[in-house]
Amino acid sequence: MKSLFARLWRSFCLMLANQPSLTLYFLPLLQRCWPGFLPGQYRAHVVTKQWQTADMLQLSLKVSPRWPGFVPGQHLLLTLYHNGRYISRPFSICSPLSLWQSHRHIQLCCKISSAGEFTPLLNLLNKGAVINISPAQGDFYWQQPAMPAVFVAAGSGITPIAAMLLSQRHWLAPATLHYRVRGTENAALLKELKQLATRQPLFTLQLSDSRLEPAETLQQQLCADLSNKQFYLCGPQTFMQQLRTMLSQHGVPAEHIKHEQFGFALPPAANIKSSTTEPLLSANFIRAGISTAVTLNSQHSLLQSAEQHNLAPRFGCRMGVCFQCVCDKVSGQVRDIRSGALSGHGTEQIQLCVSQPVTELVIKL
Ligand code: FES
């Protein structure tokens, strides 16, 4: 019934405004009246900033009462307006659920990379600054608290795991955290986790210093007792891959190994390798009345394809959040990469970064 209503509403919007939603149609006007407004996003105010380590900044945010909340372990997209465009990055919530329930506050631990485009901006935010956040997302959360659990975190991978452990109210089974760090001075949230280990007898904290201890030692510790345990892994990609391979080789079933992977990040065009096996379609991109015919790979987003052909379309987050890449599709059908939903065949606005071609297209940039 709900999906029928959604389909009818979408058809109504397309009929009325050539858009899949009326919010999209009125977006320029809404942003003029309410600077920073983004559909599907929520306002949050910076309450405090505090360095957890030399490069890990903890932001405390007071979130809008409309924000729907989170499950400890989930992440959100934080969006900032910079140099005339919106840019977004995912961050895990590191604070306990009780803080949000009691004060509508959440905390994010953000690793600041001085060479990056986004994270240095976080350090420039003043108290009271308003930012946009998405609803919490992801399925990395403590699924069976009644079963013994082993958590393994490295670097900023500690953030979702800290939220899970610090939120747990009723401990039903033992849990051990193996926290791989480069010296305790680089261990974010260590104080909070030590306090938890002191007051909760079922929780054990084990630090593994990468400067003193090879990764194999940690692997041997994990292998010592693998039976009937669930594993939660969060850290750099290669670190997690090694652990997952090792656990699988020792017979741990895949459903007992959970790992966090910040989802939805399409590679920039430079990283795309062409493949002869992927179906090709043609499209005409029109800019200032001049039409450019290009070949599209149906597995790539339209943003990636346009960039590959040096058409330099406007973009921001590359994740479907900021609406900077919205443009007019004149004809043809596209698929929304996030939901798989198909567009109509006629004129409507689309987001290039989350649209893949289904048929031949004409697009106005
Ligand atoms: S680039 Fe942000 S929505 Fe497409």
Which domains are assigned to the chain? 1-35 (no CATH), 38-133 (2.40.30.10), 149-259 (3.40.50.80), 267-364 (3.10.20.30)
Residue 242: exposed, middle, or buried by beta-carbon count in 10 A (0-12, 13-18, 19+)? middle
Question: Ligand 1 center to residue 120 CA distance, Å?
Answer: 21
- Give the count of beta carbons closer than 10 Å to the beta carbon of residue 64: 15
Q: What was the pLDDT predicted at 298?
A: 83
Which of 31, 117, 305, 317 maximizes ligand 1 atoms within 8 Å of its Cβ, making it the mutation to test the pocket?
317
Q: What was the pLDDT predicted at 272?
A: 40
- Give the count of beta carbons closer than 10 Å to the beta carbon of residue 193: 22
pLDDT digits (tens, 9 = 90+) for 91-107: 999 999 999 999 999 99
> What band does 17 get if pLDDT is binned at 50, 70 and 90?
low
Write phi, then psi, for 155 (nearest 5 degrees): 55, -135
Angle at 229 between CA 226 and CA 232, to 5 degrees: 105
Euclidean distance between CA atoms 52 and 60, whole angstroms: 12
Q: What was the pLDDT predicted at 266?
A: 42
* Residue 354 CA from chain centroid, whole number: 14
Q: Is 321 in the pocket of ligand 1 (CB under 6 A)?
A: yes
* Token output for 103: 């004060």
Euclidean distance between CA atoms 233 and 222, whole angstroms: 12
Mean of pLDDT values over 216-243: 89
Are 152 and 87 contacting, i.e. CB atoms less than 8 angstroms apart? no
pLDDT digits (tens, 9 = 90+) for 141-174: 998 889 999 999 998 899 999 999 999 999 999 9
- Give the count of beta carbons closer than 10 Å to the beta carbon of residue 123: 13
| Model confidence pTM above 0.85 | no
Q: What was the pLDDT predicted at 152?
A: 96
- Give the count of beta carbons closer than 10 Å to the beta carbon of residue 54: 8
Q: What is the CA radius of gyration of the chain?
A: 23
> What band does 263 get if pLDDT is binned at 50, 70 and 90?
very low
Question: Ligand 1 center to residue 267 CA distance, Å?
Answer: 13
DSSP result, 173-189:
S-EEEEEEESSGGG-TT
Q: What was the pLDDT predicted at 19?
A: 59
Question: Ligand 1 center to residue 336 CA distance, Å?
Answer: 12
Which of 89, 302, 323, 337 maximizes ligand 1 atoms within 8 Å of its Cβ, making it the mutation to test the pocket?
323
Q: Which is the closest atom of ligand 1 to the Cα of 321?
A: 3
Q: Is 87 in the pocket of ligand 1 (CB under 6 A)?
A: no
Q: Which is the closest atom of ligand 1 to the Cα of 317?
A: 2
Q: Is 305 in the pocket of ligand 1 (CB under 6 A)?
A: no
